[in-house]
Amino acid sequence: MAREILMPKLGLTMAEGTVTKWFVEEGNNVKVGDKLFEVETDKLTNEIIADTEGIVRKIVVQAGETVPVKALIGVIADKNEDISGIIGKNLGNKEEEKVADTSYISDVEVNEIKNTKENSDYILATPYAKKLSYEKGIDLSEVEATGYSGVILAKDVERYQNDKPRIKATPAAKKMASENNIDLSAIEKNDRIKKSDVAGYATKSEKSAYDQPTETEKAVGMRKIISERMRANWIATPMVTFNMEVDMTEFIRLREKLKPIYAAEGLKLTYNHMIMKVLGKLLMKYRHLNASLEDDTITYHNYVNLGVAVDVEKGLMVPNVKGLETMTLKEIAEETERLIENARTNKLNPDDLFNGTFTITNIGMFGMDSFTPIINRPEVAILGINRIVDKPVAIDKRVVVRPMMNLSLTTDHSLVDGALSAKFLSEIKEFIENPYLLID
């Protein structure tokens, strides 16, 4: 029986996904458990496996294309099975296929938005239209839409390109422009462009080359989403960062005692794990920091799901350790390392990334003494961990050298008062400098 391969929904907020890689080709035999394709969302990259066996009869969405959840990606069926009813009678027609991507825009997404210059911040276009505009270097805000409720179709982009006035140039001028990657439309000339015009433009460009970027690239996929969300978080949240220095002497001493015990069980105990244990105890007490703020609704959580920022190739991922307040130090170490490993090997489950209540981020390994961590909304606080460095400090009126570390706490000042943030940091400091308080 023929089976549709659909874009899976990998999380509550996922609306669309990008097929980044196919592991199979049309005509390949697959069995249950075989890898089919890789999909990238705004939060993670996942490998999708087959849940049926058969032949890959049709690949509908190619690598690099973005489609909404439940869109048809391909078809698995027996060799002689009729799949025309699944694919659609016009799928083989290239032009019809381009227009067909209007189905990826729903009535809800349209919501009466029109493509006007006044509303150019959000332009409605089908995925194929966006792909064409990117390949051809066309600004979608200049394209007239003919689709339903102002949606730009692929044919609108093609018409725009065909309607652009043709540039008159001699064959020699065209050849030189092509060889030197020069856009003839950038050369201001009322009559036919000649080779000498192109040479003059190239010389002028070389003189001002120091003003030009040497390399540019589009922010796409996960990198684009991370950029957009970081910008939105920064603009929408009145963030304030508090820094406090702590003496790590006893913390280090305790870790050195515990390391061989954990190593015997195949675990590497880190300062992060120990600080997470401190947060598990304190965040249940400081409910205003273990909260979420969405619009005018504040949610206080009766559990601690601690997000751990992980640097991966395509950006930053924040899986969270769920139920931190109930965990032993050993359980925290095990779960944290599992999440970090899965983040770096693209094996995270969608649930690993949702419902965080607080986040911790550590850049001490890069030699940082302080920084401003950005809150992972809708959370209202994030704790930054910096490097440990030996410093001279005064203790009992004597100067001694101690291992010191800065904590950088960023909070949403619209919900968390400065005094509360300072008190929270002070209690973290108390636990770190007296880690035996962790023993219940």
Asked if 386 and 406 touch (Cβ cutoff 8 Å), the reply is yes
Strand partners, 315: 312
Amino acid at position 176, single letter? M
Provide the 8-state DSSP code for 371.
-
- Give the H or E element holding residue 337: helix 329-344
Q: Which of 273, 396, 413, 440 is catalytic?
A: 413
In sequence order, which residues have a C-beta less than 8 Å from that of residue 144 and are 6 or more positions away? Answer: 156, 160
Q: Quote the CA–CA distance of 121 and 123 in Å, as a whole number.
A: 6
413 catalytic, yes or no? yes
Q: What are phi and psi of 172, to 5 degrees?
A: -65, -40
**Closest by CA position to 150, among listed 170, 132, 123:** 123
Minimal CA–CA distance to 103: which of 135, 67, 75, 134?
A: 67
- What is d(CA 387, CA 373) in angstroms, rounded to the nearest whole number? 15
* Contact of 184 with 172, CB cutoff 8 Å: no
The answer for residues whose C-beta is within 8 angstroms of residue 34's C-beta and 6 or more apart is: 23, 24, 49, 50
Backbone angles phi, psi at 115, to 5 degrees: -85, 90
Collapsed DSSP state (helix, strand, coil) of residue 386: strand
Q: Quick one: 330 exposed, middle or buried, by C-beta within 10 A (0-12, 13-18, 19+)?
A: middle
**Exposed / middle / buried, residue 390 (Cβ in 10 Å: 0-12, 13-18, 19+):** exposed
3-state secondary structure labels for all residues of 262-300: HHCCCCCCCHHHHHHHHHHHHCCCCCCCCEEEECCEEEE
Q: Which of 100, 119, 389 is nearest to 247 (CA)?
A: 389
Q: Is the peptide bond before 378 cis (omega within 30 degrees of 0)?
A: yes
Catalytic residue from among 51, 183, 351, 417:
417
Does 301 qualify as catalytic in the annotation?
Answer: no
Residues designated as active site: 413, 417
